[in-house]
């Protein structure tokens, strides 16, 4: 028997919702054939079968959210109807089996229904019946904005409501965006009529009865006392934000972070880009940015200094044969690092194509599990937000990350004369446990020399 587990879709993801089974118990499935669909705060995707055989048991039902690496089903070898209900899961197998239409099964089905009821939030359960499985993010948004999900049109797989559907619904003129506000306004009337005896004291020192009573959402929304400044807004971190925080703290606690910054003359590349970008857009259908040039130069440096492409395992150094470059992509409520595999084998066009494709699918949550795993070195382009340079945090278990600042024109001394040049800062953060300062500077200097002496055509 082979366990089918919930995959991890990036370092900050710790759980996912199983939205749909593509095979039913007793059906044969081939290795790598889509088996079920999942939804997380970052990715909606199909998960392939880990082995050929028969789906013997469904452990996690559609619509349930489970932790990564949790067993969601089991596959056994053979073509037969191996899904004859296992004694260990009678309640689960009773739910999907449509066979028993008689009157006897309802009492047996009741415990299964009761057992399945606790995981979903009570307020969202009725919506599931008409809108399909909902992701944790959608449930949270609907709950916080008091949205009736039965009125939202879903555009996801099988009509499932996505985050973008909720945003479009709230942006519509007829959407009840102000729904959460009336309860607060309704609670306010008791505060205006103060005691007739001492109105001045009431204005400065609110009576306890005038303070809004604690509610279920008191920790999520601001509370303002009459005559006082606005109170602080307290909101719990999302699960994704908690995991990002843990990953960053773990990295700072694990690696000895050191950052070196080099200023690079990008004039030659800037002129080449200006000359080619219209033709490039017309020929390939996407724009030409500075990032593929930096990535190309970084892979050349990684080939010359393979220790920067390594990782640490206890007291051992693991040298990776392939150069798989992770590319940090900012999302609305977090970040993810999809990986360009064998980046050193791709030219500028190939790198730019992968950059555009991965960034677009990361923001639409369409990345596959293997596309966020196996990175050996990372690049973060904070210059796209106007930053000149920063000190990025290493993406564990890697030992270095290269930050790219904004390319700007400025006066520079060239051969004892003032000239206008396009420049940017490269910030390499490296793990000082493995990489010394001299080696870090040599690596960044190699990237700088490739960029400044660029000789390739696009």
Catalytic center residues: 432, 436
How far apart CA 198 and CA 123 sit, in angstroms, is 44
Q: Which of 147, 155, 143 is nearest to 172 (CA)?
A: 147
Spacing of C-alpha 51 from chain mean position: 27
**Pairing of β 400-404 and β 377-380:** parallel
Q: Can you state the angle between helices 348-363 and 267-284, rounded to 10 degrees?
A: 70
Q: What is the dihedral of CA 193, 199, 201, 207, to 10 degrees?
A: -20
For 258-278, the DSSP string reads EEEEEEEE-HHHHHHHHHHHH
Query: Do 42 and 331 form a contact (C-beta atoms < 8 A)?
Result: yes
Question: Exposure pattern of 222-244 as b/e (b: 16+ CB <10 Å)?
Answer: ebeebeeeeeeeeeeeebbeebb
105: tokens are 């099964």
Is residue 86 a contact partner of residue 74, using CB atoms and an 8 Å limit?
no
Q: How far is residue 48's CA from residue 46's CA, in Å, rounded to a whole number?
A: 7
Spatial separation of the C-alpha atoms in residues 150 and 163, rounded to whole Å = 15
Q: Who contacts 89 (Cβ-Cβ below 8 Å, separation ≥6)?
A: 57, 59
**Alpha-carbon gap, residue 456 to 145, rounded angstroms:** 53
Residue bearing tokens 């999942």:
38
- Quick one: CA torsion of 358, 407, 305, 373, rounded to 10 degrees? -20
């Amino acid at each position: 028997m082979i366990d089918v587990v919930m995959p991890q879709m990036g370092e900050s993801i710790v759980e996912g919702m199983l939205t749909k089974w593509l095979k039913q118990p007793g059906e044969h499935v081939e290795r790598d054939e889509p088996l079920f669909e999942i939804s997380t705060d970052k990715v909606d995707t199909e998960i392939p079968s880990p082995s050929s055989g028969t789906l013997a048991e469904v452990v996690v039902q559609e619509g349930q959210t489970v932790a990564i690496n949790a067993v969601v089903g089991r596959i056994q070898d053979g073509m037969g109807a191996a899904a004859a209900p296992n004694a260990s899961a009678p309640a689960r197998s009773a739910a999907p089996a449509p066979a028993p239409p008689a009157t006897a099964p309802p009492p047996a089905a009741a415990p299964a229904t009761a057992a399945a009821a606790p995981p979903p939030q009570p307020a969202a359960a009725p919506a599931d019946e008409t809108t399909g499985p909902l992701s944790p993010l959608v449930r949270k948004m609907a709950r916080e904005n008091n949205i009736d999900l039965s009125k939202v049109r879903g555009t996801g797989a099988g009509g499932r409501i996505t985050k973008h559907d909720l945003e479009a619904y709230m942006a519509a003129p007829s959407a009840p965006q102000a729904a959460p506000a009336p309860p607060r306004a309704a609670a306010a009337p008791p505060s205006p009529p103060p005691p007739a005896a001492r109105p001045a004291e009431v204005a400065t020192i609110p009576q306890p009865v005038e303070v809004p009573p604690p509610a279920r959402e008191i920790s999520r929304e601001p509370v303002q006392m009459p005559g006082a400044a606005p109170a602080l807004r307290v909101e719990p971190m999302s699960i994704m934000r908690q995991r990002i925080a843990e990953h960053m703290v773990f990295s700072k606690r694990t690696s000895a972070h050191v950052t070196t910054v080099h200023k690079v003359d990008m004039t030659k590349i800037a002129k080449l880009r200006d000359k080619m970008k219209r033709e490039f857009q017309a020929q390939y259908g996407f724009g030409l940015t500075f990032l593929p040039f930096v990535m190309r130069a970084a892979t050349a440096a990684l080939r010359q200094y393979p220790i920067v492409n390594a990782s640490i395992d206890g007291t051992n150094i693991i040298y990776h044969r392939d150069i798989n470059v992770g590319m940090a992509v900012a999302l609305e409520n977090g970040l993810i690092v999809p990986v360009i595999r064998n980046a050193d084998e791709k030219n500028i066009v190939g790198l730019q194509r992968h950059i555009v494709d991965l960034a677009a699918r990361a923001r639409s949550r369409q990345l596959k599990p293997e596309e966020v795993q196996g990175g050996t070195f990372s690049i973060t382009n904070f210059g796209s937000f106007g930053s000149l340079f920063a000190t990025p945090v290493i993406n564990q278990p890697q030992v270095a990350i290269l930050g790219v600042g904004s390319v700007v024109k400025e006066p520079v001394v060239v051969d004892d004369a003032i000239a206008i040049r396009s420049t940017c800062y490269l910030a390499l953060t490296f793990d000082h446990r493995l990489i010394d300062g001299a080696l870090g500077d040599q690596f960044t200097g190699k990237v700088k020399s490739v960029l400044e002496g660029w000789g390739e055509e696009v």
